[in-house]
Structure 1
Amino acid sequence: MTSVAPPPPLSAGPAVVHVTVSDPRVEPLLRELGDEYSARYGKDAHAELARYPDEEFTAPYGGVLLLLLEHGEPVAGGAFRRYDETTAELKRIWTHSAHRRRGLARRVVAELEREASARGYRRIHLTTGPRQPEARGLYLTTGYTPLFDTEADPESISPLPFEKHLPAAPPQKEAAGS
């Protein structure tokens, strides 16, 4: 009797990796993000991206997430920081220009929400700029409530705030013998 090898597992896409802002794999995404924001808004956006200290994006209050392709190439990422005691603020959501239209930003947002919820946050707050219709669309389609008049000219509102309430995280199981 000959056995047939099972088919290889389907790829779940890029691996989720938690890193610090100072990890060298983050730099290419932030550089491209700064370049694109600078082009869209007509001023150097790199200083804005460096406005928050790296510590605000580390545990226990914040986190950075990076999605990597199998070859180790950074393709999408994002971060969150403490906004207030029960609210996390999403920042720096980004997909490399060569990897867009694959659902990676949606996956980054979902992973950041999951991580924020696990850390006890019950609400997400974020803002996006008026010249980022892709981001506005992403947040509207992933369940975020706009905190602005969606019929108004986005340029008259800037920045565009959103919020989303998170479900309570499931209780942590106690380790055996505790």
Structure 2
Amino acid sequence: MSNAILNRIVRRETHTPRTTAMFVVVLLLAAALVYLAVEEILHLSGVGPLLWSPVDMVAWASALPTEQPRGAVAVGAAVVVLAGIVLLVLAVAPGRRSRHALDATDHAVLVDNGVIASALSRRLSEETGLSPDAIVVGVGHRTADVTVKPETGWSLDERHVREIADAEISRYGLSPSLKTRVRISRAGQGG
């Protein structure tokens, strides 16, 4: 397979599709259009409306700024603007799945963030001599957060832990790469 095809596969598997959001919006728009069509057909055939006749809808919309309380109009407008912002963010922002690609091979290899966190935690446990329960690792899209809770009497250097974590992460060859944040927790130490 060519590099372009592999890159496309990796992108598709590391980013979420917007199918669900698009489906909901299309379903709501289709329902509104069907309702408006039914109301128009009922109006043209001389039968009473289901809820509002098209003439009443237009009259209400044109009188909305003057007859309704300004607070209600402002709240309605804020809700519409908020819905628009949410839809805009869904359309523009890249949705990411909790996966990273390994650049170390010529194949498309994806690794879940939980697997990366588990492997990093195990490596830190082996290198520092702490129990696996004393190390908590969380992996996001761009960062690996490491929290170490050493038992009483253990002395750990934050820089040393960061060097171990950075070396292990660089060994994986992840794309996108991760920055490491390390915290040595002194609270709640106990045996």
What TM-score bracket applies, with the shorter chain setting the length? under 0.3
Of Structure 1 and Structure 2, which has the larger fraction of its residues in helix?
2
Structure with more strand by fraction: 1
* TM-score, length-scaled by structure 1: 0.27
Q: Rg: which structure is higher?
A: 2
